[in-house]
Structure 1
């Protein structure tokens, strides 16, 4: 294990001058990269890093280019963190860079409980500023996205993961049929959403996590933060969980952003929901291959069900009215109550209770986060053991992907609705859209 407490001081002395290291702790967030907070010479900093070059092997650009992009964004007036130094191989800490720490709130739940009045306008303004960064200021390594090729890659990945999830197949086919004409490319942040912005009492304080940046369609950024999953339960507020799309678009356009095309926005909303559904499946593949052995990966792998629910909510309008009004078939019968020796479910429940009662209360920082993730994983197993629900249907997925069937088929929409409700109830029972869909579909 890398000893950051020994390796950070010489690095900081080189990039920032003399001082002493204190308060080193790993922050709980970060699905792919590590973030470490620390103090040096009276200042607060964050190290963003990957433990080794292997973590960056499939990425189009590395941390040096990411750091250069963050610096270019800050120079263009974007509220991006201040980069103070980039790790070199000789530093022995993997790849990454150090930023001055922004002291503001990042938790979506806390921000959305009482957002500053200016927040939605701030989000529109900052995105317009990102999209206005001059092309010659963007590092050459930042790639240009070819939407048609990217969609073909999603199809290929889907097939490599089994090609047997009907709702994902439905979404791929829809995107292929509704592919928009290429747009004039701008810098796309690629991950512009709650969870990647920091907020204080005055409004938006910083835009974080630039690792997915690329050149492409501005509407991709506009749509991403409006996905249901990134509203963190505030599904009645379609723009970031903060407010209305009309107000968000108006703020973006007033700050110099491109005129918003609603059809193009809808395409990207479906596309990025599809992208994240496959991203969740990819997390499971990363664990299975041994590339990332953390429990967090397998738990995120089961969040595919959330995105399948959201995709069906987005695409059900394609079905005839009679199909949208059709009653749902019943769910499978529940398993009988246990008798005799402890069942698999009861053993899993005992382990989960032990983590909750004995491990979690004594854990701190990232260890507490890991305990919660482990409890979530065991909760999925518990619900899985007591139900007979599968999401896979290779024949139906192939028929939807090829276009030989569609939501016009009598009863298909009702079957898919039942399937995504039951699967999401196992994998993510607290997902806000689940309760709303259940009520809307009378499921």
Structure 2
């Protein structure tokens, strides 16, 4: 952490920074573990060099989502203070939670009942009153995805085919809810007892609840353990049954498959847009460049799923 950022953070929090360590991960935001001279341990979330999606929340909005989620009983880090511009980038601080958030480590020994806890947290998220967060995007899903794909400015016929295939099969008629937008292993802090906190709310929006439900089924979020369709940790049945018990909503299996195809389309588009941040000089980063090459894996996966559905 440079001196200017340290001084700005000290002024914003009213206590000198005793130690600061930038955490790994986070494709579009910085995260710093901060120890203050007054004994507080916090996490600084700070804007990076761009955004992953067109409708990504500002950090002011993300902070307000955390406040609403915590009030609704969702396990989230306590939001401490929105700092605004901090040495040139928007920032806020929240409680520093401890545990494991790296998916590849979690799947090696997931805590018992993690799948059911995921269902419970997702049900709580979907119960947040949308009117408490009036700034959340609620536009047409297809318009958003096509606009993001167009921003890549190169042809990807497999993704276009996947979007068209899904659009024919998803009427999107059920009531929409507050959706996390990226609910999966990797965005959950986990310890031996289960979920400590749901993280990374920058993609929160209003959508069909099935969009969130199917997202952790996407192969990329199984972290190599394809034997367990739900995030590499469990079979899908208990997860969906627990969610249905809490919400009364059951999604037909054939529809979930369509949402899984769409999830692969979404992640392929996001990977390409991240790579564009690097190529356009918005944020020169090898990790972002590598993400662009991963899109081919999602293209193959979505075509394979469509073939199986046929």
TM-score, structure 2 normalization: 0.92
1:161 pairs, out of 134, 146, 153, with 153
Partners of 1:57 and 1:252 in 2: how far apart? Answer: 27
In the alignment, does 2:228 pair up with 1:263?
Answer: no
Cα shift at 1:123: 0.3
CA shift, 1:51, in A, is 4.8
User: Alpha-carbon deviation of 1:256?
Assistant: 2.5
Aligned mates of 1:37, 1:215 — CA distance in 2: 31
Q: 1:2 to 1:304 in 2, by over 3 A?
A: farther
1:93 Cα deviation after fit: 4.7
Match of 2:128 in 1: 133
Question: Structure 1 stretch 259-268 or stretch 294-303: which is displaced more?
Answer: 259-268
Shift of 1:294: 1.1
Rounded Cα–Cα distance in structure 2 between residues aligned with 1:203 and 1:216: 27
Structure with the greater relative contact order (CA < 8 A, sep ≥ 6): 1 or 2?
2
CA distance in 1, matches of 2:266, 2:34: 34
Give, in whole Å, the separation in 2 of the partners of 1:300 and 1:56: 11
CA deviation vs aligned residue, 1:28-53 (integer Å, no higher than 9, x gap): 1101100011112222211011157x
Taking the aligned partners of 1:176 and 1:276, their CA distance within structure 2 comes to: 16
5 Å-filtered alignment, 1:219-298, equals 219-256=210-247, 258-298=249-289
Q: Which has the higher strand share?
A: 2
Shift of 1:55: 5.5
Change (3 A) 1:155 1:99: closer
Q: Supply the distance in 1 between the matched residues of 2:106 and 2:229 (Cα, whole angstroms).
A: 15
CA distance in 2, matches of 1:309, 1:2: 47
Residue correspondence of structure 1 range 359-378 to structure 2 within 5 A: none
Equivalents in 2 of 1:2, 1:174: separation in Å? Answer: 52
Deviations for 1:223-252, whole angstroms, at most 9, x for unmatched residues?
111100001011111111111111110121
Partners of 2:78 and 2:219 in 1: how far apart? 31
- Helix, strand or coil at the partner of 1:302: helix
Match in the other structure for 2:94: 99
Equivalent position of 1:47 in the other structure: 44
Q: Which runs of 5+ in 2 are unaligned?
A: none
Aligned residues: 308
CA drift of 1:289 comes to 1.3
Q: Retained in 1: the 8 A contact 2:172–2:208?
A: no
Contact between 2:120 and 2:242, CA under 8 Å: does it hold in 1? yes
Cα distance in 1 for partners of 2:61, 2:167 equals 32
Mapped partners of 1:210, 1:102: distance in 2: 15
Q: What CA deviation, in whole Å up to 9, does each residue of 1:73-99 have, x standing for no partner?
A: 00100001111101223x435102100
Q: Secondary structure at the match of 2:41?
A: strand
The 1:58/1:101 distance shift into structure 2, 3 A limit, reads: same
Query: Contact 1:154–1:275 at 8 Å: present in 2 too?
Result: no
The answer as to whether partners of 1:199 and 1:205 remain within 8 angstroms in 2 is: yes
Q: What do residues 347-404 of structure 1 show as CA deviations (whole Å, max 9, x unaligned)? A: xxxxxxxxxxxxxxxxxxxxxxxxxxxxxxxxxxxxxxxxxxxxxxxxxxxxxxxxxx
Look at both structures and tell me which one has the larger radius of gyration over its CA atoms: 1
Cα distance in 1, alignment partners of residues 288 and 117 from structure 2? 33
1:129 and 1:122 map into 2 onto residues whose CA distance is: 11
**Runs of at least 5 residues in structure 1 that lack an aligned partner in the other structure:** 14-18, 320-443
**Counterpart residue number, 2:308:** 317
